[in-house]
Structure 1
């Protein structure tokens, strides 16, 4: 059948035909209409209603407004709140023109039925106040003059607009002081102005200027809220006054923190008195768009014939089209939407309007205006303007479409969808069966319209074959040709994906390519290293160590616990190159942040292998890429078939298994610090024992423990003979006969030349094992006046490890035992009982003496009291900071902890060089010495 194309039936408005439409003209501006500067289509009420389709929601609202103005009921406050571009301001303009009454109702298209339904014979003329938060932004800080009156606040502006000077006088004091007027004053104003309409647009935008604690000439945040609250209450008492206020639909549109607070508060105030407003429905949008873009339908019979032909075609090919096309009402949808196919509206309103910056009705108008202009200029012969008709080869249309999409769609359209260099054009040129009906391009355009706006709200991605055919095929064309074209595109196009019999374009060519592309997104510090750290943390199951993966030195406690520090990948270990691992480990060992670390013998380090590190990072990126793909599949960001989903899942599992192996193969160097005594005295420099941990062992933690135990770098069981040797070599010397047991344990945690015990329980067990022998040490719990308290030697016991427990050198302990025994025997002999009549023998006197000898006692030599201490020590310049810290802790604190002890410290520094010190060094040293208050500091020849 030959039917007329839409270009011969539907005539677009002149601005659409000529391409002179402007984006701003699609946005109704209430203030410009009020001040008379808007375009004629908004300013002239007759033209406005000619291009305005009165939706069900608008009809109900206008009915309420008319009843209110006629004092026949109606709602005092109506809040308009829909998504951005949802028609709030357009609805306000309808109310504005009705209330203003400049044109009779008979000339306003669609208004007379509303008046009849409301029982009103003629339009009541009302006073109107327009408060536009954007237009009047500067009112908050800059007073506005109206002849003899200067207003400063919204309530001052409202009063002036409603009742001039008389109205302003009612709120003058509140306006001048910036305080909200009370309900009585506003009620008096409304009575004076009634019937009246108050239109408030962009109120949240105006309120967002009043930051907390900030007072402007327009009042404060709280005073403006109080004004709105009082106004909504006052309106209830004036039967012929009404307020319409628009609020943003979401916090995102409110923009600022103050704006969000204002939105939530205003919603609360309006909720108490508001009437609900029904937003525009999808079916109603058909007529809204048609009226704005098309001026008239020149041949309604031809229009109906075209729509009937489409409806019959869908029924004849029922198996190829969606079920909805088989219903009789689909013909009505075709009539309502003509000359635009309903599928275009469905895709734009259901899919594209879900994009953040696509403004529902306004966005549809902008896009379709460009489409219509280009197709009209090209002389389109399509029966309807369908998804397959979109001229995506046109730069302006293409730019308008991809403006709402993420980056990367330009090459998709240019290579796969439309244009001279597109694959679709090449396929049509090579096959006349496709080229005669533009099958490839029409199919590709339809898929693009239905799949491009991929968002998190979409549960299923892609376009089913039946909807692709619905958007591409016209009556009289072979459906099979378009099915073949779809299959050909599936084989040839680079960016076309398919799964579960659905098709979609994506900026990503395929799943494997997607993984490779995503690998490049991940950053070492932000993505790769955190995952390595997490996997390392999960790999250790041990009660032996406290594990610190990639922890800064300042966050590693300096205490008695044994800690395994896992160095970052930025500090790998290399047997041949620069050893960043040893440098980093040494820094962590010496310092906790900026403070010297005391318990150095409690740290052990694990480092990555330099040669294996790059492979590990690559594997981590692969794992992250597969993880992001699988996550997108689960969250429906990617719509894949079961095979592709399983492929992605298998890829992730394989990547994780490989990552687990790679981490074990990479983090294999155990670094253990130690020092050794020198033959002539003193200690060696810091020594690092390095051991390779086997990656094949089943338990990583146990393997590390095994290596440490085999190399005697961590002691789990210790013989008392070894403790005796360390006590003898390092503690029982220079006249020291006993040492605090706790002191040895603490120093073993500090100094690298002492044994590294697993924990204090190993030490306690060693003490208990040596208690039964007289060869290792004696015990006591303190000493007073030469007497040991709780002394034991060679007795099985489990000593309590506290600050009072002493370990006594064995020979001293035995001598003490002998002395105690002798003293006890003497005391027993002295106190033995006498027989009856027997006198205690007197001491034998010298011959010839007649005096009775008295018992005498052996004089005890007086113990010298030591009241002064002094010491001198030489410190190596390298490591002086740590050495001096040890001196302070081990020596000075012994004196400063006792009350009444005066301690003085002198530091003597001598530096000598074979070459003269330069001026810069001399100046820096002298300045620092002055700051540090040195008593003397000089350079000499």
Structure 2
């Protein structure tokens, strides 16, 4: 069944539809009605009761008044004490029209039932006196038919009895003193049945200064009048008084107002029936009757309300607990076409504002809302919190009237309007835009949080209540939750804590964070932060050095395997040419201004081009939150406890997000390779450098191990090498033409330099391969050098642990086998030791062969040096020593270098304490073994 929108079921009154109502029309004015000058809906008894919903409290009050005027009991004094806008004046008007009897009771909707309940067939017409504390002036007499009337009691007597009635209190009126209760009882008795309506009495009495008499008497004389009047009413069984007092001292105004309220409450409290007219639930019907003329399809109305009730039950986890009660269906029906949540927010939240009148304020606001929604063709099933057209100037002005300064930019920026964030989000995301999810959610939060203040312990709406104000049957609550999350990321005035959401005129911490984000620059702030985090993510398990965001001059050209992490602005993209390849090629070819030789020792890690933007944004966010938390801890900014906790939580979340994003962004492993064909006389050569790229798993626990895994799986890094593979490399590239042996150290060094050769993890891998191939005669032989065509320290097919130095040669296996055979034969022909004469040239038949390296050449294994340094040019000379001497040793494997610096300084006059202290501290920081000053 298709559910009908509210506009097809409920019909607003013409003045609401046309927008012709005036603000004053919602303000019932008792004096104007009494003077016959009010508009028709208040002046005409039948129209008044037609639009008046008789609440339970009003019914009981009218019942008491009917009984009192009929002499059947009832309360003589009734105090109407409610909050501002609680319906006091409206209730007095009901009593006024009932007592005046200007229209038959049968024409007054709801009144016949009251008369029947009281057992009254026909209510006698009563005299009615209206005393308006705002209209009356304490220091200005009123002239009626030539008679000057000065006081409230003079006015009361004239209204009830004219000139004869006034004569009873004329002296008291002239002197400004209260008449006694007997005089007042006589006055009431002569003109009963009668009704006295006193409105805004506090506003009148608070104008009297203590000890100072005015035309209308004094503060004390007016209090005495109230006391005497309430006592006199007890003596007249057909007289009744209704008086309205404010509910709180705050509404009374000044200190004199508070004192007047206290005093009047005391006197009325001696004999009264305290009555509070309107309950919140009854306000539903009051508003509906005043704003809507009829509902033309009761079945459709019931279907809509039932659909909402079922919707709430089906999604019980997304809505407040109260919606699961069967009574909520009744609330929906009674409030239709306005959602009960709207009434709850207006009566519970907005009514706490000083100038928001409960029923009258709701009527004024909802009249503008309904007019605009009707004009715009709104098709919501109910008028909900999310339906409020805050982009409408009239509606916006109405709500802003009750709020403190500062709300217009909140609404225009975050809530509603074509320039708001909510509109922008919905325009870009049709999933939200199709149901106005962002606007409706922001409106609901505004309606429920705008009246709150920062001093409140608990602020804002719970998530479930936000959803209650926006979601309709057929819609997924999760969609609005998603919208709320999006708003949390974008809005500047939206706050959230403990599953509650509220808008505030102060920019939230997010706006402060967004503004601070703009301060951070890529190279000065972002890259160092990213670099620090990347550095912490690596362990040197695989690489001899890890160089993060460094230039080519800072990446050594040595034999160690090095990982170069390219900066974010040199990102990699599979879809086309990327700066990563350009930057990596630059580092691969050059070390600063010098050419790079050990190219096969470099592996590169690059950021993903599509992720760099998000990474930089998250890093900016992290830096902004960190600066806010730091400023708070250093007392440079002031935050309340809630905001401080939010800032800390946001910082922690930002840290985790950056950590995750760095892993997701720095994901491309780049390895330079070349394809080559050996130069064997049939042509060959090298291809251009190619870059192989492989993604890393961002979820890997150890980044270094993940890189090693990817390199090994794709044969870009070798940690275990079989001798057969080494033998092939030797055959293809080193045993060429007439060269049947080659330097082992040269093979290792060439593998570090040439991109077409295998990339070994380190020289230990190479040495293990040599040792593994030593026992076999299939791969290579060894020699420690070559002199006059003979191999020194020759070994072939024997277990060995060769030392990788400049003398070690790798001999082609066929050549090694032939040499071994010739060498064995030669040694067999050598004469035995000590043999001379003709037999000396004969081969020895038996005995062990003499090793080829019995007489090794002298090898120099140590180096010492010393030099005098000019102290004025020490820095320059140290740099030259490092480049020209030290690096000659450190660039060779297996060479251990130690450098000791000795400093002597003498002074004929001695060293002062400041110098001694500075030198000792600096030597301590630089970890000198000893640093002492001596007397001589």
Same fold (TM over 0.5): yes
Contact preservation (8 Å) 2:632, 2:639: no
Q: Distance in 2 between matches of 1:625 and 1:110?
A: 65
RMSD: 2.6
Q: Distance in 1 between matches of 2:395 and 2:55?
A: 29
Relative distance call for 1:515 and 1:136 in structure 2 (3 A) is farther
Q: Distance in 1 between matches of 2:631 and 2:214?
A: 56
Deviation at 1:624, TM superposition (A): 6.9
Contact preservation (8 Å) 1:81, 1:246: yes
Deviation at 1:261, TM superposition (A): 2.0
1:30 and 2:30 matched: yes
Counterpart of 2:270?
272
Contact preservation (8 Å) 1:67, 1:118: yes
Q: Distance in 2 between matches of 1:217 and 1:299?
A: 60
SS in 1 for 2:82: coil
Relative distance call for 1:172 and 1:319 in structure 2 (3 A) is same
Question: TM-score w.r.t. structure 1 length?
Answer: 0.55
1:414 and 2:412 matched: yes
Contact preservation (8 Å) 1:89, 1:201: yes
Counting only pairs closer than 5 Å after superposition, residues 59-458 of structure 1 correspond to structure 2 as: 59-137=59-137, 140-455=138-453, 458=456
Contact preservation (8 Å) 1:495, 1:508: yes
Q: Distance in 2 between matches of 1:37 and 1:640?
A: 59
SS in 2 for 1:162: helix
Deviation at 1:62, TM superposition (A): 0.9
Greater Cα offset, 456-465 or 157-166: 456-465
Counterpart of 1:725?
none
Deviation at 1:176, TM superposition (A): 1.8
Q: Which runs of 5+ in 2 are unaligned?
A: 516-629, 653-936
Relative distance call for 1:497 and 1:512 in structure 2 (3 A) is closer
Q: Which runs of 5+ in 1 are unaligned?
A: 518-618, 648-941
Q: Distance in 2 between matches of 1:69 and 1:157?
A: 22
User: What whole-Å deviation, never above 9, does each CA across 1:739-768 have from its counterpart, x for those lacking one?
Assistant: xxxxxxxxxxxxxxxxxxxxxxxxxxxxxx
Deviation at 1:256, TM superposition (A): 2.8
Deviation at 1:625, TM superposition (A): 7.5
Relative distance call for 1:514 and 1:625 in structure 2 (3 A) is farther
Contact preservation (8 Å) 2:632, 2:644: no
Deviation at 1:458, TM superposition (A): 4.5
Deviation at 1:17, TM superposition (A): 1.1
Deviation at 1:2, TM superposition (A): 2.1
Q: Distance in 1 between matches of 2:24 and 2:91?
A: 17
Deviation at 1:260, TM superposition (A): 2.2
Counterpart of 2:507?
509
SS in 2 for 1:141: coil
Q: Distance in 1 between matches of 2:24 and 2:242?
A: 23
Deviation at 1:459, TM superposition (A): 4.1
SS in 1 for 2:54: coil
Q: Distance in 1 between matches of 2:195 and 2:634?
A: 63
Deviation at 1:512, TM superposition (A): 7.8
Contact preservation (8 Å) 1:87, 1:361: yes
User: What whole-Å deviation, never above 9, does each CA across 1:820-868 have from its counterpart, x for those lacking one?
Assistant: xxxxxxxxxxxxxxxxxxxxxxxxxxxxxxxxxxxxxxxxxxxxxxxxx
Contact preservation (8 Å) 1:500, 1:640: no
Counting only pairs closer than 5 Å after superposition, residues 674-685 of structure 1 correspond to structure 2 as: none
Q: Distance in 1 between matches of 2:383 and 2:636?
A: 41
Q: Distance in 2 between matches of 1:251 and 1:504?
A: 29
Contact preservation (8 Å) 2:492, 2:511: no
Deviation at 1:66, TM superposition (A): 0.9
Relative distance call for 1:389 and 1:621 in structure 2 (3 A) is closer
Deviation at 1:141, TM superposition (A): 2.3
Relative distance call for 1:214 and 1:628 in structure 2 (3 A) is farther
SS in 1 for 2:169: helix
Contact preservation (8 Å) 1:210, 1:221: yes
Relative distance call for 1:259 and 1:399 in structure 2 (3 A) is same
Counting only pairs closer than 5 Å after superposition, residues 688-767 of structure 1 correspond to structure 2 as: none
Q: Distance in 1 between matches of 2:639 and 2:488?
A: 25
Q: Distance in 2 between matches of 1:271 and 1:376?
A: 48
Counterpart of 2:640?
629
Q: Distance in 2 between matches of 1:184 and 1:365?
A: 44
Counterpart of 1:11?
11
Counting only pairs closer than 5 Å after superposition, residues 574-585 of structure 1 correspond to structure 2 as: none
1:466 and 2:464 matched: yes
Counterpart of 1:55?
55
Contact preservation (8 Å) 1:461, 1:639: no
SS in 2 for 1:253: helix
Relative distance call for 1:115 and 1:641 in structure 2 (3 A) is farther
Contact preservation (8 Å) 1:515, 1:626: no
Contact preservation (8 Å) 1:415, 1:421: yes
Relative distance call for 1:625 and 1:252 in structure 2 (3 A) is farther
Deviation at 1:643, TM superposition (A): 5.6
User: What whole-Å deviation, never above 9, does each CA across 1:371-418 have from its counterpart, x for those lacking one?
Assistant: 111111101111110111111111221222222222222222112211
Contact preservation (8 Å) 1:354, 1:455: no
Q: Distance in 1 between matches of 2:514 and 2:223?
A: 55
Deviation at 1:502, TM superposition (A): 2.0
Aligned residues: 540
User: What whole-Å deviation, never above 9, does each CA across 1:481-514 have from its counterpart, x for those lacking one?
Assistant: 2222222222222222222222222233334867
SS in 2 for 1:314: helix
Relative distance call for 1:389 and 1:270 in structure 2 (3 A) is same
Q: Distance in 1 between matches of 2:631 and 2:306?
A: 60
User: What whole-Å deviation, never above 9, does each CA across 1:223-275 have from its counterpart, x for those lacking one?
Assistant: 11111111111111111111111112222222233322221111111000011
Relative distance call for 1:116 and 1:453 in structure 2 (3 A) is same
Contact preservation (8 Å) 1:190, 1:235: yes
